[in-house]
């Protein structure tokens, strides 16, 4: 988007996208662009950063290839972006990390950076003065597709208190396909309804259903995926021979980490 | 490399106003499909942007559309941009463009056959079959054959019979239906190759231009180099979209005096 003048009274927002990114596609990257355009168009927000946080291997999703590859592909994909970055913290944890925890981690990092900056700025401002001038701290919002929003309803995939924390304390930017209707889903959940003002629904104006699943299928069949992924990622996939019938069978007999965790637990964590 | 495969060149005509990732996907999808039939080896792809004489609303000057296509295809090792059509003084019928390129391919083939070289040139061996040229298009293109005055029946006949079509399905349009509903297409259905893109991917240049007018991001829909070019030359504004407003498409005028036979005869 043409850079709108960053209005000093707008809230600064960082967008965080969690997911497999197996592999990252142009659709994933589009989500960031759409979200930024949408939020800035309201005149209330300034999107200052985007973070891609690929899930760790311990997630045990079928067909999930090594995190090192997924992180590297995301890095290659975002090289040309001035504001979207990749963070490997989540992928480096030995256990699967709940999304709410990932958000908390990144929010704390965000606050810490701002706090340091505040200290550096003591010549011009004291922290006290910034509070007096209604200083608005940056917020961190979870960026996702409508499928993630609707996955809130799948039993044992999310902890209720995590959902409440994510929408209540942070916020959600949900990208929906043309014809999609996340509002219906929001309506049907008391929790989501309560925090509906923190859920920003963005309609994709281009119909594009190309998913990572579709990309992996094409690769298994020796079909071209050019122009579905950034060029550098296509090359990386080719060079490393990623995504075959074999790789798709990984974790085939294993239970997805959240299901394992939440159905095992007799007391919630 | 199976020697029974016919070398094939794919030609896409269109506005390319601007070229998008979707346009380039058409070539990739078509190549994979034609290879998988076992009968073809795709040896080249040609993007042929229409000339300014086409008169379509919102069409920016050909020199820009050509430059953008060249930038977009820099990274491709088999698809190129050709300026011949865009340089003709008047709008050129698709079949005329096909004939021109077919002639060019023939010339190259004869030259390299004359050299009897076995370089990596596509048409090197005199014993290799003569390369075919087929028109690459989306399903909307196929449906446009029905639009009164847009196509001459003889041209459609020549297109499918002499050359052939490779048509990539797009969204909900069903190219099978267009073939079924046209006797000409039906008669030559063996030369109409339908490529199914199962997953919807509908980036249209119209949507891209709209987004650009509204200063919305089109990153990851068209190549970065094209975005930069558009920015530098300030293309695609409200003014540019009004170009040719109220003007009839050139084919409708040029072909207006011709008898328009229904393709459903």
Q: Where are the domains of chain B?
A: 6-105+131-257
Rounded to whole angstroms, the Cα distance separating B61 from B52 reads 6
- When CB atoms are compared, the residue of A29, A207, A223 closest to B220 is A29
Residues from chain A that touch B221, judged by Cβ atoms under 8 A, are 26, 30, 206
> Which residues neighbour B127 within 8 Å (Cβ) at sequence distance 6 or greater?
none
Residues from chain B that touch A226, judged by Cβ atoms under 8 A, are 24-25, 28
Rounded to whole angstroms, the Cα distance separating B256 from B250 reads 10
Helix/strand/coil for B158: helix
Q: Is A235 on the interface with B (CB under 8 A)?
A: no
Burial B95-116 (b: 16+ CB within 10 A, else e): bebbbbbbeebeeebeebbeee
A223·B215 Cβ contact <8 A: no
Q: Is A223 on the interface with B (CB under 8 A)?
A: yes
ipTM of the complex: 0.84
Please tell me the distance in Å from B218's CA to the nearest CA on chain A.
Answer: 8
Q: What separation in angstroms does the CA of A30 have from each of A33, A72, A73? A: 5, 19, 16
Confidence of residue B16 (pLDDT cuts 50, 70, 90): very high
A76-122 pLDDT tens trace: 999 999 999 999 999 999 999 999 999 999 999 999 988 877 665 55
- The count of CB pairs under 8 A between chains A and B is 66
Greater pLDDT, A60 or A181: A60
Q: Give the residue-averaged pLDDT of A49-73.
A: 97
Q: Is the dihedral of CA B54, B55, B58, B61 positive or negative?
A: positive
Has this prediction a pTM greater than 0.90? no
A182-198 pLDDT tens trace: 999 999 888 899 999 99
Residue B123 in this model has a pLDDT that exceeds 90: no
Contact B264, B158 (CB under 8 A): no
Rounded to whole angstroms, the Cα distance separating B63 from B69 reads 10
Topology of domain A11-115+138-267, CATH: Rossmann fold (3.40.50)
Q: For the beta carbon of residue B170, count every other beta carbon within 10 angstroms.
A: 20
Q: Mean of the per-residue pLDDT values for chain B?
A: 88
- Interface of chain B toward chain A, CB-CB under 8 angstroms: 21-22, 24-25, 28-29, 31-32, 75, 171, 198-204, 207, 210-211, 215-217, 219-221, 224
Give percent of chain B with pLDDT exceeding 70.
89
pLDDT at A37: 97
- When CB atoms are compared, the residue of B199, B217, B224 closest to A210 is B199
Q: Give the residue-averaged pLDDT of B206-213.
A: 94
Rounded to whole angstroms, the Cα distance separating A50 from A59 reads 23
Q: Give the residue-averaged pLDDT of B84-108.
A: 94
- Pick from A240-244, B72-76, B176-180: least confident: B176-180
- When CB atoms are compared, the residue of A1, A26, A37 closest to B21 is A26
pLDDT at B124: 47
Confidence of residue A42 (pLDDT cuts 50, 70, 90): very high
Burial A209-245 (b: 16+ CB within 10 A, else e): ebbbebbbbbbeeebbbbbbbbbebbebbeeeebbee
A214·B199 Cβ contact <8 A: yes
Residues from chain B that touch A208, judged by Cβ atoms under 8 A, are 200-203
- Pick from A19-33, A243-257, B139-153: least confident: B139-153
Confidence of residue A4 (pLDDT cuts 50, 70, 90): very low
Q: For the beta carbon of residue A132, count every other beta carbon within 10 angstroms.
A: 10
A207·B201 Cβ contact <8 A: yes
pLDDT at B115: 65
Contact B129, B158 (CB under 8 A): no
pLDDT at B155: 92
In CATH terms, B6-105+131-257 corresponds, of 3.40.50.620, 3.40.50.2300, 1.10.10.10, 3.30.499.10, to 3.40.50.620
pLDDT at A8: 65
Please tell me the distance in Å from B14's CA to the nearest CA on chain A.
Answer: 19
């Amino acid at each position: 988007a043409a850079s709108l003048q960053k209005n000093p009274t707008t809230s600064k927002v960082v967008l965080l996208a969690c997911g497999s990114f197996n592999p990252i596609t142009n659709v994933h990257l589009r989500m960031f662009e759409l979200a930024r355009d949408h939020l800035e168009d309201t005149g209330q927000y300034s999107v200052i950063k985007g973070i891609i946080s690929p899930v760790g291997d311990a997630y045990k999703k079928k067909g999930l290839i090594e995190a090192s590859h997924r992180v590297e592909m995301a890095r290659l994909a975002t090289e040309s972006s001035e504001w979207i970055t990749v963070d490997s913290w989540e992928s480096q944890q030995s256990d699967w990390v709940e999304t709410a925890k990932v958000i908390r981690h990144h929010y704390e990092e965000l606050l810490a950076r701002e706090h340091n900056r505040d200290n550096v700025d003591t010549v011009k401002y004291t922290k006290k003065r910034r509070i007096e001038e209604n200083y608005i701290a940056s917020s961190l919002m979870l960026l996702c597709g409508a499928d993630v929003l609707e996955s809130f309803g799948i039993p044992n995939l999310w902890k209720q208190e995590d959902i409440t924390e994510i929408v209540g304390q942070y916020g959600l930017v949900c990208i929906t396909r043309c014809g999609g209707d996340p509002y219906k889903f929001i309506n049907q959940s008391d929790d989501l309804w309560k925090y509906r003002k923190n859920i920003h629904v963005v309609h994709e104006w281009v119909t594009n259903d190309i998913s990572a699943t579709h990309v992996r299928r094409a690769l298994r069949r020796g079909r071209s995926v050019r122009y579905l992924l950034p060029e550098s990622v296509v090359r990386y996939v080719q060079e490393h021979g990623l995504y075959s019938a074999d790789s798709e069978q990984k974790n085939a007999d294993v239970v997805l980490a959240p299901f394992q965790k939440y159905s095992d637990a007799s007391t919630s964590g | 490399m199976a020697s029974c495969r016919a070398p094939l060149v794919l030609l896409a005509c269109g506005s390319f106003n601007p070229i998008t990732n979707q346009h380039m996907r058409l070539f990739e999808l078509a190549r994979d499909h034609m290879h998988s039939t076992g009968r073809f080896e795709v040896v080249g792809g040609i993007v042929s942007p229409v000339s300014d004489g086409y008169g379509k609303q919102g069409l920016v000057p050909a020199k820009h559309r050509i430059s953008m296509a060249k930038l977009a295809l820099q990274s491709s090792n088999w698809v190129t941009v050709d300026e011949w059509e865009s340089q003709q003084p008047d709008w050129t019928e698709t079949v005329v463009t096909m004939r021109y390129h077919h002639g060019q391919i023939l010339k190259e083939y004869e030259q390299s056959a004359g050299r009897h070289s076995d370089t990596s040139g596509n048409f090197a061996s005199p014993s290799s079959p003569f390369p075919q040229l087929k028109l690459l298009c989306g399903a909307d293109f196929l449906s446009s054959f029905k639009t009164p005055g847009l196509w001459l029946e003889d041209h459609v006949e020549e297109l499918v019979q002499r050359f052939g079509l490779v048509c990539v399905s797009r969204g909900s349009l069903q190219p099978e239906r267009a073939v079924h509903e046209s006797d000409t297409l039906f008669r030559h259905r063996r030369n109409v190759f339908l490529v199914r893109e199962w997953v919807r991917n509908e980036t249209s240049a119209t949507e891209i231009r709209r987004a650009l007018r509204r200063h919305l991001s089109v990153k990851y829909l068209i190549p970065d180099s094209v975005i930069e070019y558009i920015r530098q030359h300030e293309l695609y504004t409200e003014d540019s979209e009004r170009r040719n407003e109220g003007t009839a498409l050139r084919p409708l005028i040029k072909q207006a005096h011709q008898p328009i036979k229904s393709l459903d005869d």
